[in-house]
Amino acid sequence: MSMLISRLPAATTPLAWWRFARAYPSATLGLVLMLAVVLVALVGPLIFPGDPWDMAGPPMLWPGDDPGYPLGTDFMGRDLATGLAAGARVSLLIGLVSTALAATLGITVGAIGGYFGGRVDAALMRVTEVFQTVPKFVLAVVLVAIFKPSVTTVVVAIGVVSWPATARLVRAEFLSLRSREFVLAARTVGMSHARLILTQILPNALPPVIAMATLTVATAIQTEASLAFLGLGDPNVMSWGTIIGGGREQVADAWYICGLPGLAIVVTVLAFNLIGDGINDALNPHLRQRRH
């Protein structure tokens, strides 16, 4: 994300933004969609201040039937607009926090293994392979089912199943960077291992990790929605997956109950995927030269 942000136009003139949009169209669209979702998450409680669990009106109102319920109501009379706004906050929270946890675990394992190599690297990579052999969603379901379903449990479960890819990427970057001249020079002057890792190698290994993190957020949001659909989400919070799960039996008569939160998931996941594509484009020197 930092690579992309660093390339945002310094001036806020329409011409500068137009040039940026032409250079990175996918990233621009992704940023617009992400800002829209964030705006819904922040402003939603002000526009729709009610409790998403309250039976606010007549059940099965279609969008547009009643101005008081612009997106309609579900089979229990709960306001879908309020539920979607609450679901935006839950999805972004779980997606971002679980990605931060996965990135922390992955960077730690990958950095230690790639820097020290040898037996340490071999042991850590065997642990990583064990996690990669188990399907991620199945492992997440097992972890959430073992413990009491809650936002914390879901965050930890998604973070635990998502770190191996980051670990392998960081390890590859460290193996490539640890023998560079600037690292050897820092080691020659007596810099400690921890300082070498944190101040010399890690900053140079982060750009591709940031690109992967945006894709991890998208995957985390999908995983959370799937867990909530199966009834393994926090029973005290409203999420998009919970709305879809509750409306699946009415999909033939009131498809909008599942369709609206499904569309919200698609838009949010698409936003983060497009931002990830934009960061990859910004990191690709050949594409950068052609655009500039």
Q: How do residues 243-257 score in pLDDT, each as one tens digit?
A: 999 998 888 889 999
Give the number of other CB atoms < 10 A from CB of residue 147: 12
- Residue 10 above 60 pLDDT? no
Give the number of other CB atoms < 10 A from CB of residue 251: 13
The residue extents of the domains of the chain are 2-291
Is residue 114 within 8 Å of 175, Cβ to Cβ? yes
Element (H, E) at 42: helix 25-47
- Residue 254 neighbours by CB under 8 Å, 6+ apart: 60, 62, 72, 74, 75, 247
Q: What is the mean pLDDT of the chain?
A: 88
**Of 136-145, 151-160, 202-211, where does mean pLDDT reach its minimum?**
202-211
Is residue 116 within 8 Å of 174, Cβ to Cβ? no
Q: What is the pTM of this model?
A: 0.87
Q: Alpha carbon 141 to chain centroid distance?
A: 18
**Of 8-12, 27-31, 48-52, 57-61, where does mean pLDDT reach its minimum?**
8-12
- Indicate the pLDDT class of residue 17, thresholds 50, 70 and 90: low
Is residue 186 within 8 Å of 127, Cβ to Cβ? no
Give the number of other CB atoms < 10 A from CB of residue 20: 17
Is residue 66 within 8 Å of 57, Cβ to Cβ? yes
Q: Alpha carbon 171 to chain centroid distance?
A: 22
Give the 3-state secondary structure of residue 48.
coil
Instruction: Write the CA distances from 56 to 158, 159, 165, integer angstroms.
Output: 33, 35, 44
Amino acid at position 106, single letter: G
Is residue 204 within 8 Å of 220, Cβ to Cβ? no
- What residues form DSSP beta bridges with 79? 73
Q: What is the mean pLDDT of residues 53-80?
A: 91
Homologous superfamily (CATH) of 2-291 is MetI-like (1.10.3720.10)
